[in-house]
Amino acid sequence: MTEKDNLKKHRAVMVTPGKADSEQLTDVASVDPAAGQVRLKILEVGICGTDVEIAKGFYGESPKDHLRLIPGHESLAAIESLGSGVNHLAEGQLVVPIVRRPCLEGCAACVNGRWDLCLSGNYREHGIKALDGFLQEYTVVDADAVIPVSPSLRSVAVLVEPLTIVEKAMEEAKAAYPNRWSPAQTALVTGAGPVGMLAALLLQQHGMEVTILDQRPVDSPKAQLAGAAGIRYIDDRNTPIEKMSPPGGYHWIIEATGYSPLLFRAANLLSRNGVLVLTGVTSGHHAVTVDSDRVNSTLVLENQTIVGSVNAARHHYLAAAADLLDWADRWPGLTQQLITAEYPLDQFAQAYQKSSDGIKSVVVMDKGGQE
Ligand SMILES: [Zn+2]
Ligand SMILES: [Zn+2]
């Protein structure tokens, strides 16, 4: 590497994991891709609850021998240059980088491409755990860790990564639902944040009768968005879900708030053979009193399943990219409305602010041409 290469820099957000409010915009060294790698120009980065937890100092781990971490894991990028030996990708191509990378000890799940089910727990995640993320102008990643996406998805592909979480949750629900004599027809999603809204749309695409629950008025933007896709919306503050549930209960429930007391309320609404998939976590310590005998006997006597689901494998990314294309035909212009705020990189901190009517905030480094 020449002296000039050493001087190449770009802007990046950095945080000190474990320390609250440590995030700052700074210059970092810009490197060229090594063999088998690609250099990415980051176009957009979505901010989610995990990023907020990292900013609060509750979560996150720096790369080995570093004190700081570049956050950001939901992203859309364009390939800027290819390292030697990379023949299956092209410069300028739109890609979504895969967040989780296999553990270095190579557990049986990771070597089989199921890093989302890593057995050692030593997996690495861009922007979260031991690998720098995408809240920066450029980065270099392994060429086998990006998913090409269609240029027609330019305005929504930043949602591919959060949608992968839902694709896997659906796969879990399907695998755990034992009733082939009566296919799942009704679904409840708790929480109309990004994961909840994406889950409701995916369930709706699959022909289910979908209800989504939140704590915003029935004329709020979230409620209207749900309604535009034919999804029933309930404001849980005025209309408790217990009163609205279908006679036999819901076949599938996707819990997307991470508010743990809701787990027990939701479990009570499952149908026979029903499946409840938990997708969210919060760092609180809520305690509730439950009739554990009743929970136990209902789960047993009604063949119910409660399953937790996190992260995603490559096939979930491919499914997410394909489903976003389907949604563009099915509900023209609707998916874009999930992105409710956009900020340039130097105003990244605003993307971390929660707004009750907002769904997904995105840091935009390059908006691209006209769509
Ligand atoms: Zn996320
Ligand atoms: Zn592993």
Ligand nearest to the CA of 133: 1
* Domain that residue 208 falls in: 163-308
The total number of structural domains that make up the chain: 2
Please tell me the distance between residue 89's alpha carbon and the centre of ligand 2 in angstroms.
26
Q: Report helix, strand or coil for 43.
A: strand
Residue 1 in this model has a pLDDT that exceeds 80: no
Please tell me the distance between residue 278's alpha carbon and the centre of ligand 2 in angstroms.
22
| Residue 349 sits in the same domain as residue 274 | no
What does the alpha-carbon distance between residue 256 and residue 109 come to, in Å, rounded to a whole number? 26
- Average pLDDT for residues 279-307, to the nearest whole number? 90
**Which contacts qualify for 87-91: CB closer than 8 Å, 24 or more apart?**
88/143, 89/38, 89/143, 89/146, 89/148
Q: Report helix, strand or coil for 141.
A: strand
| Residue 141 sits in the same domain as residue 42 | yes
CA distances from 44 to 4, 13, 18, 211, 347 (A): 28, 13, 25, 30, 13
| Residue 94 sits in the same domain as residue 198 | no
Please tell me the distance between residue 73's alpha carbon and the centre of ligand 1 in angstroms.
6
Please tell me the distance between residue 180's alpha carbon and the centre of ligand 1 in angstroms.
33
Q: Lowest mean pLDDT of 209-213, 260-264, 326-330, name the range.
A: 260-264
Ligand nearest to the CA of 75: 1
The answer to whether 352 and 55 have CB atoms below 8 angstroms apart is yes
| Residue 114 sits in the same domain as residue 173 | no
Q: What is the CATH number of the domain that holds 289?
A: 3.40.50.720
Please tell me the distance between residue 81's alpha carbon and the centre of ligand 1 in angstroms.
26
Instruction: Please calculate the CA angle 231-157-27 and round it to the nearest 5 degrees.
Output: 130
Q: Is 301 a domain residue? A: yes
* Residue that terminates a domain, selected from 262, 293, 308: 308
Instruction: Please calculate the CA angle 146-150-155 and round it to the nearest 5 degrees.
Output: 100
| Residue 191 sits in the same domain as residue 138 | no
How high is the pLDDT of residue 314?
98
How high is the pLDDT of residue 318?
98
Confidence of residue 368 (pLDDT cuts 50, 70, 90): confident
Residue 13 in this model has a pLDDT that exceeds 90: yes
| Residue 296 sits in the same domain as residue 190 | yes
284 vs 152 pLDDT, higher one: 152
Please tell me the distance between residue 102's alpha carbon and the centre of ligand 2 in angstroms.
5
The answer to whether 362 and 336 have CB atoms below 8 angstroms apart is no
33 vs 7 pLDDT, higher one: 33
| Residue 181 sits in the same domain as residue 101 | no
| Residue 134 sits in the same domain as residue 50 | yes
How high is the pLDDT of residue 7?
75
| Residue 193 sits in the same domain as residue 281 | yes
Mode of pairing for the β-strands spanning 124-126 and 100-101: antiparallel
| Residue 282 sits in the same domain as residue 181 | yes
Q: Length of the chain in residues, anyone?
A: 371
Q: Is 59 a domain residue? A: yes
| Residue 120 sits in the same domain as residue 235 | no
Q: What is the mean pLDDT of the chain?
A: 94
Residue 4 in this model has a pLDDT that exceeds 60: no
Q: What is the CATH number of the domain that holds 26?
A: 3.90.180.10
Please tell me the distance between residue 186's alpha carbon and the centre of ligand 2 in angstroms.
35
**If we measure between CA atoms, which residue out of 72, 83, 56, 200 comes closest to residue 134?**
72
Ligand nearest to the CA of 113: 2
Residue 5 in this model has a pLDDT that exceeds 80: no
229 C-beta neighbours (distance < 10 Å), count? 18
What does the alpha-carbon distance between residue 277 and residue 308 come to, in Å, rounded to a whole number? 6
